[in-house]
Structure 1
Amino acid sequence: MTILVTRPHPDNDATLATLRQRGFDALAAPVLRFEPLPFHDDDADYDAVILTSANALRALDLAGSRLLPLPLFAVGTHTADAARAAGFAKVIVAKGDAISLRDLVLARVKAGELEPSATLLYLAGADLSRDLAGELSESGLSVITHTTYRMAPVAAFPREVSDAFMANRITAVLHYSRRSAQAFLDAVRADGIEISALALPQCCISAAVAAVLHDAGATKVVVAAQPDETALLEALGRTMRSAPG
């Protein structure tokens, strides 16, 4: 059984390794490409940092940065690990999505651990699925967003991926974001394999991601119980165990 991993590089390396440890063949097909954008600290007086993706830190050199002592609110465990690796000492972790991150920040305000008029630095990507800054601002917080990267869709699949589809060797696809799901759809359409590709199980990290595949006509769409990779791989395992043959 060959599992197609659409997660961008370099995060896909760990996913591929985990799948192979579990006995799956795994094939990388990153449908988005990381592109760093310039970041210049504006010397504003921040009270905390918020982070919805580990990618926001990838291109930054934060050695000795004045930001590192600040509390950092991370969307999930993977992003939190990246923040700690970058040097942030006080990392508060949400449950894997922007809604839980928003609620976590507001809970800290309610508990008196963050001032109601605090200024937050949001290190973000160019394409955001939710207006987190706007939602926090409605509660009285000041959020300054700095865009540190973008994820650009690839033009087409690598030859080995197209060949694997044509040979019916792909048995399931893993999806990690709405944008990557859309980029996957664009790629299979460009290759003329949309019907056969969408007939496969599509394992999605959240219901929002799954909706992109549902809307495109996929019928075997599986959603992780929680928006993290552990739950996603558990959903994959259940799907493969129940597959015929």
Structure 2
Amino acid sequence: MRLLVTRPEEDAAALASVLAARGHEVVMSPVMSIRFLDEAEFPQRVWQALLVTSANGARALARRREAAALKNLPVLAIGPATAQAMADAGFRRIEAAGGDVETLAALACLRLSPDGGPLLHAAGSVVAGDLKAALTAQGFEIERAVLYEAVASDALPGAAHRALAENRADGILLYSPRTARIFVSLARAAGLEAALAGITAYCLSPAVADALENTAFLTVKIAEQPEQAALLALLDG
């Protein structure tokens, strides 16, 4: 299949290789770019553990000189890809949740104690789900360090525009509700919404699929679990 990959370039290269190995043709179609906030304030406290909700959060944390003093702390990552990014950054005590905020909060409640000290959440300027509210309700103190922002594109990438305009796309991979909303908005602005009726949207979670409400995709398929392996399994169906 010819598949549109909407992830930022930082995340798309490895995915493109996996798709190519499965025999798919990849159309790189990022609708957001990552800007690291290297000068942002970094909270200084005695942390019980680190919570990381994206691979870009891991990369942003790794860029900070403050990270060197944190590498022996327990790390709870939202999923396997984020856990790998933390390992690549030199962190050692890492455990992955099931791919969403709910399973990350549950893992934190299982592994950590509200009395053990505050938690540091390395995150972007926009977050999916309310991790802080979920853990505060369980008695934890959690502080969010905004270390990067994902900036929406102002136009559909040229490769995606051509693929849709020429009816040469079979599907699109969507990893977040925000990505889904941005892509649909850009397709509409380009006058290409009708072209979506010919392709399948492969969604990482029900929340991503919900963001496609009132769009005319040929089919919307949802991964059984909010993780890349489950999303890729949809392509074999």
Compute the TM-score of the two structures, normalised by the length of structure 2.
0.93
Which position in structure 1 is the counterpart of 2:51?
50
In the TM superposition, residue 95 of structure 1 has moved relative to its aligned partner by 0.8
- SS of the residue 2:212 aligns to: helix
Which position in structure 2 is the counterpart of 1:24?
24
Aligned pairs for 1:60-209 within 5 A: 60=61, 61-62=63-64, 65-109=68-112, 114-209=113-208
Alignment RMSD, CA only?
1.6
Code of the residue aligned with 2:226 in structure 1: it is P
In the TM superposition, residue 20 of structure 1 has moved relative to its aligned partner by 1.1
State the alpha-carbon separation in 1 of the partners of residues 158 and 116 from structure 2. Answer: 53
Code of the residue aligned with 1:57 in structure 2: it is A
In the TM superposition, residue 40 of structure 1 has moved relative to its aligned partner by 3.7
Q: 1:198 to 1:187 in 2, by over 3 A?
A: farther
| Cα distance per residue 1:130-156 (max 9 Å; x no partner) | 110121112111101110111111111
In the TM superposition, residue 73 of structure 1 has moved relative to its aligned partner by 0.5
In the TM superposition, residue 217 of structure 1 has moved relative to its aligned partner by 4.0
State the alpha-carbon separation in 1 of the partners of residues 196 and 17 from structure 2. Answer: 23
In the TM superposition, residue 216 of structure 1 has moved relative to its aligned partner by 3.0
State the alpha-carbon separation in 2 of the partners of residues 151 and 26 from structure 1. Answer: 22
State the alpha-carbon separation in 1 of the partners of residues 210 and 199 from structure 2. Answer: 16
| Cα distance per residue 1:117-173 (max 9 Å; x no partner) | 520000111111211012111211110111011111111123232111111110111
Counterpart contact for 2:118–2:142, Cα < 8 Å: yes
Counterpart contact for 1:200–1:220, Cα < 8 Å: yes
State the alpha-carbon separation in 2 of the partners of residues 93 and 51 from structure 1. Answer: 10
Code of the residue aligned with 1:229 in structure 2: it is Q
In the TM superposition, residue 229 of structure 1 has moved relative to its aligned partner by 1.1
In the TM superposition, residue 174 of structure 1 has moved relative to its aligned partner by 0.6
- SS of the residue 1:44 aligns to: coil
In the TM superposition, residue 116 of structure 1 has moved relative to its aligned partner by 3.2
State the alpha-carbon separation in 2 of the partners of residues 44 and 2 from structure 1. Answer: 48
| Cα distance per residue 1:8-42 (max 9 Å; x no partner) | 11211111111111111111000111111134433
Which position in structure 1 is the counterpart of 2:10?
10
Counterpart contact for 2:43–2:145, Cα < 8 Å: no
Q: 1:62 to 1:35 in 2, by over 3 A?
A: closer
Code of the residue aligned with 1:67 in structure 2: it is L
Which piece of structure 1 moves more, 24-33 or 217-226?
217-226
In the TM superposition, residue 115 of structure 1 has moved relative to its aligned partner by 4.8
Paired residues in the alignment total 234
Counterpart contact for 2:46–2:117, Cα < 8 Å: no
Which piece of structure 1 moves more, 158-167 or 227-236?
158-167
Counterpart contact for 1:117–1:142, Cα < 8 Å: no
Q: 1:42 to 1:214 in 2, by over 3 A?
A: closer
Compute the TM-score of the two structures, normalised by the length of structure 1.
0.90
State the alpha-carbon separation in 1 of the partners of residues 213 and 45 from structure 2. Answer: 43
Code of the residue aligned with 2:8 in structure 1: it is P
Counterpart contact for 2:124–2:149, Cα < 8 Å: yes
State the alpha-carbon separation in 2 of the partners of residues 214 and 42 from structure 1. Answer: 39
State the alpha-carbon separation in 2 of the partners of residues 72 and 216 from structure 1. Answer: 38
- SS of the residue 1:96 aligns to: coil
State the alpha-carbon separation in 2 of the partners of residues 206 and 2 from structure 1. Answer: 21
State the alpha-carbon separation in 1 of the partners of residues 223 and 129 from structure 2. Answer: 20
Structure 2: 5+ residue runs without aligned partners?
Answer: none
In the TM superposition, residue 208 of structure 1 has moved relative to its aligned partner by 0.6
Matched-pair identity in %? 33
